[in-house]
Structure 1
Amino acid sequence: MDIKQQWNAFLTDATEEEQQVASLYLKSLERKRNGSNGTHIGALMEINSEFQEPDTLTMTIPNTELLQNSLDILHGGLTATLLDSAMGTLAFKLIPDDKAAVTTEMKVNYVAKGVGDHFTCVASVIHKGSKLLVMEGKVYRSDGVLIAHATGSFFVIPKRI
């Protein structure tokens, strides 16, 4: 069975919830295709980034069924992914064009449940060296309550060309 047949067979018996989730997947593929998001995970999470000042980045994601765990709250691993993405994107922006930044360590403290319409991560710089950046990230839910705090270290390496 080819992909079109698989897709049609799935949709034929899909519940309304499954159809909504399938629609979210398709929209994420379109966001990746049209360049709205540079990665599939960013497109799946519907990440929207904004640089606020030279050393601060804000990333926002909507709360969707794709991001929730079995308790209907934001999955902790996806919270960590949002933190890593925001801190890493900021780190990457702060280094020379011929370099890349990779996560070497990250610690996350979860302090409240992830519920609400959307989540906003604010990343900022703690230390910027020539070989290592240390970042901080905080994730807030739509009512402004902090749900997670992280610190991360990012090693600066040569970019592959």
Structure 2
Amino acid sequence: MTRGVEEERHEGGRGERRALSGLEYMRQLMTGEREPSGMARLMNMRLVEVEEGRAVFSVEPDERHYNGLGIAHGGLAATLLDSALGCAINTVMPAGRVFTTLEMKLNYVRPMRRETGEVRCEAVVLHAGSRVATAEGRILDGAGKLYAHGTATCMLFRAS
């Protein structure tokens, strides 16, 4: 079976990722040294800020994100939060340590539409222990209006 470039790039990235701290890896994504994930490209999300314990993504909702009701599908908010929450936790991971999401809780407050304009999802780490980390995030528009908020719990472990 022939493997695609996408497979090879992401498989190779896993080995490189083990040698970097999560913050170093995230900074490389910010500067363009690393390509964003396929999901980020598909959803047109951008990592716009990153520092230890914090990550911010942005997206401009448009028709490609719409559901049958003419508003952004809830999956856009869920994906935006999942990305920001996970990346915030990634910023506190030392080299050789990785994580996976155990649980994510999401509250929708109001719908997003094209007219909403750019929204930003800011996530911050609340707790980072040796086995578990938690983070919370909020999706806000340019005027500070809340669209959704959520939390995540992640399991931390040694990269294999």
How does the TM-score come out when normalised to structure 2? 0.72
Matched with 2:41 is 43
Greater Rg over alpha carbons, structure: 1
Contact map agreement 2:54 2:91 (CA 8 A) in 1: no
Question: Helix, strand or coil for the counterpart of 1:49?
Answer: strand
Unpaired runs of 5+ residues, structure 1, are 1-33
TM-superposition CA deviations, 1:76-108 (whole Å, max 9, x none): 122111101001011112111111111100111
Unaligned runs of 5+ in 2: 1-31
Aligned ranges 1:38-77 → 2 under 5 Å: 38-77=36-75
Query: How far did 1:72 drift?
Result: 2.2
Show the counterpart of 1:139. 139
Deviations 1:42-101 (A, max 9, x none): 001222113354222110012122212122222112211110100101111211111111
Normalised by the length of structure 1, the TM-score is 0.71
Question: Could you tell me whether the CA contact under 8 Å between 1:56 and 1:124 is conserved in 2?
Answer: yes
Percent identity, please: 31
Confirm or deny: 8 A CA contact 1:118 1:142 kept in the other structure. Answer: yes
Q: 2:77 aligns with which of 62, 76, 79?
A: 79
| Highest RCO, 1 vs 2 (Cα 8 Å, sep ≥ 6) | 2
Q: What residue number does 2:156 align with?
A: 156
Whole-angstrom CA distance in 2 between matches of 1:142 and 1:73: 18
Instruction: Indicate yes or no: 2:101 matched with 1:110.
Output: no
